[in-house]
């Protein structure tokens, strides 16, 4: 009688398991790569939830993640995974175009009137309000736009913490 340790190894069983693992990892990498495109292309998506804020930090890893996804799908050996690998490669190639920043305007002509704008979204880190006041004093912008403050901090700004600036408070 054979013991369990002497049972023959079925290579097809292991290949199937490896293929399923490759497909699962490829699917996760594809989802992450596509999410990085969505987060960059539609910035408000980055602030839906604290986890999406964290996920948005992975935007620079989009192209290598899509490349890894394409490789995993190509290596899985499934008939349908080839077209998915090609789609992942296409997404990787198009990633820089989809996530390109807005084109910068030409610099103003010498002597032209300019407006200095400082924006900050405090929705995710509203503890830095004192740092914001120091930054405004140091940079001296013409316009300060602060988004995402709760009522208490909005009142704090209106109580003279930024006395050089007129405030227009709208929640």
Reported pTM: 0.53
91 and 29 fall within a common domain: yes
Mean pLDDT, the chain, whole residue set: 77
Cα separations (Å) of 122 from 103, 128, 148, 154?
25, 8, 5, 11
Using the 3D structure, point to which of 67, 98, 129 is the last residue of a domain. 98
Check whether residue 145 and residue 85 sit in a common domain: no
Say what the pLDDT of residue 150 is: 63
Integer Cα distance of 79 and 81 in angstroms: 6
Is the domain of 54 the same as that of 85?
yes
| pLDDT tens per residue, range 106-157 | 788 888 888 888 887 766 555 666 777 788 888 888 888 777 666 666 665 5
Report whether 112 contacts 89 (CB < 8 A): no
pLDDT cut 90: percent of the chain above it: 6
Q: State whether 47 and 67 are in the same domain.
A: yes
**In a domain? residue 69:** yes
The predicted pLDDT at position 128 comes to 66
Do 87 and 116 belong to one domain?
no
- For the chain, what is the domain count? 2
Residue 88 lies in a domain: yes
> Do 79 and 127 share a domain, yes or no?
no
Q: Are residues 35 and 89 in the same domain?
A: yes
Q: Which domain holds residue 59?
A: 10-98
pLDDT (0 to 100) of residue 164: 46
Q: What is the pLDDT of residue 137?
A: 83
| Same structural domain, 91 and 31 | yes
Q: Are residues 65 and 118 both part of a single domain?
A: no
Statement to judge: residues 92 and 114 lie in one domain: no
- How many Å apart are CA 147 and CA 133, to the nearest integer? 14
Given this model, what pLDDT does residue 156 score? 59
93/85 Cα distance (integer angstroms): 12
pLDDT the model gives residue 138: 87
5 or 132, which is more confident:
132
pLDDT in tens, 75-105: 877 788 888 899 999 988 888 777 666 556 6
The answer to whether position 1 is within a domain reads no
């Amino acid at each position: 009688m054979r013991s369990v340790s002497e049972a023959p190894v079925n290579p097809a069983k292991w290949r199937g398991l490896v293929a399923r693992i490759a497909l699962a990892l490829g699917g996760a990498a594809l989802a992450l790569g596509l999410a990085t495109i969505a987060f960059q292309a539609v910035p408000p998506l980055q602030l839906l939830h604290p986890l999406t804020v964290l996920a948005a930090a992975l935007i620079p890893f989009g192209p290598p993640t899509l490349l890894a996804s394409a490789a995993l799908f190509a290596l899985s050996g499934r008939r349908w995974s080839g077209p998915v690998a090609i789609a992942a490669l296409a997404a990787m190639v198009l990633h820089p175009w989809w996530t390109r920043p807005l084109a910068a305007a030409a610099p103003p002509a010498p002597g032209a009137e300019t407006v200095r704008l400082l924006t900050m979204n405090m929705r995710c880190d509203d503890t830095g309000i004192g740092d914001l006041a120091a930054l405004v004093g140091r940079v001296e912008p013409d316009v300060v736009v602060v988004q995402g403050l709760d009522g208490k901090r909005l009142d704090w700004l209106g109580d003279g913490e930024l006395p050089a600036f007129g405030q227009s408070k709208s929640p």
